[in-house]
A and B are shown apart, each in its own frame.
Chain A
């Protein structure tokens, strides 16, 4: 079995970072949800205020950065797909001498 340090680094990094980011994001969202779903009248008022602020948010102020983020996500997916194609190509290239021998 061939051990590749870079492969190991990539897998460990992607797994650890994905799990960490997911846990932290969910924790934060759950905390906000619990706090804002309180029945206290001030919390109710704050909840409505947050909703109003959310509705008053203008997409135009951030659309440039949001577009860049979307394009980067697309680029990431394309690179991911390119990895799959390269591994597939590598597997086929490895099979070429074997087929030639037979």
Chain B
């Protein structure tokens, strides 16, 4: 039995008294904001997991109700963001998503982005990223201010760790060599092929290690290489299957033409035989009628 998004979202509201003011915002989110159960019914560990997926720190919200409210606010924030801007952030962060991913999927991917090099990200993208990282900012805030706020929000220890990872990444990159830049591609969605989305910063192993640490960066690089190899092999297999199908189709067309030509030839021979027999018969009839029977 189907329910309208509005009624579903009303059930998700953590506080019934806020329902009236939240309905319009939630309506904009549409199907993005549907969860199978009410947030308040979820167990604490699932709530923590959900909060982490949205880029929230669950430890900062002591009470269950506070966490539910924070998740709800984050989902409202996601619903209010521009989808193209979020795609811009995802492209910049090189996260694997399909081009038709929902806003919540995009928000979850953006929450996983740890990069602090903002080159290539547009101003609206920076605003969206800042808001999803919990920074209050205006829509028209200038880029340097946004970058400063984002770096300030990172914290001293996190920054030092990142610098350490960057140094390690540089070392590893020098040891194994850097790869050339590559264009970002969305994952292939239903009924659509992977599409290149224009220029985007290429992730180097140094950046991978800087974002995810030594093991995480190398794992990520191995995974990307394996994915790339698999995709290449799959493309080759697909191309081979296409070639075979074309060959089968071509041979079938040839067989069809040959078969029809043979049938028409047989029909022609039959007609020739009929006409010859009819001509002989006509001569015979003429001789019999005019000469033999008349005389």
Contacts and interface: CB of A to CB of B under 8 A. Distances in A.
Interface of A: 4, 6, 10, 13, 53, 56-57, 61-62, 65-66, 68-69, 72-73, 75-76, 79-80, 82-83, 86-87, 89-90, 93-94
A82 B289 contact: no
- Would you call the interface of chain A mostly helix, strand, loop, or mixed? helix
Interface string B179-207: 00000000000000000000000000000
B135 interface: no
B74 to A, nearest CB: 46
B290 to A, nearest CB: 7
Contact of B284 (A6, A61, A89, A90): A6
Interface in B274-293: 274-275, 277-279, 281-282, 284-286, 288-290, 293
Contact of A69 (B252, B268, B294): B268
Contacts of A62: 260-261, 264
A76 B274 CA distance: 7
B42 interface: no
B159 interface: no
B289 A87 contact: yes
Interface string B231-256: 00000000000000000000011001
Interface of B: 252-253, 256-257, 260-261, 264-265, 267-268, 271-272, 274-275, 277-279, 281-282, 284-286, 288-290, 293-294
Contacts of A94: 293-294
A72 B268 contact: yes
B252 A83 contact: no
Nearest to B286: A86
B257 A61 contact: yes
A73 B257 CA distance: 23
Nearest to A84: B285
Contact of B267 (A53, A69, A75, A93): A69
Contacts of A75: 275
A52 B286 CA distance: 51
Contacts of B265: 65
A87 B289 CA distance: 7
Contact of A82 (B256, B274, B277, B282): B282
A93 B288 contact: no
A66 B271 CA distance: 12
B256 A53 contact: yes
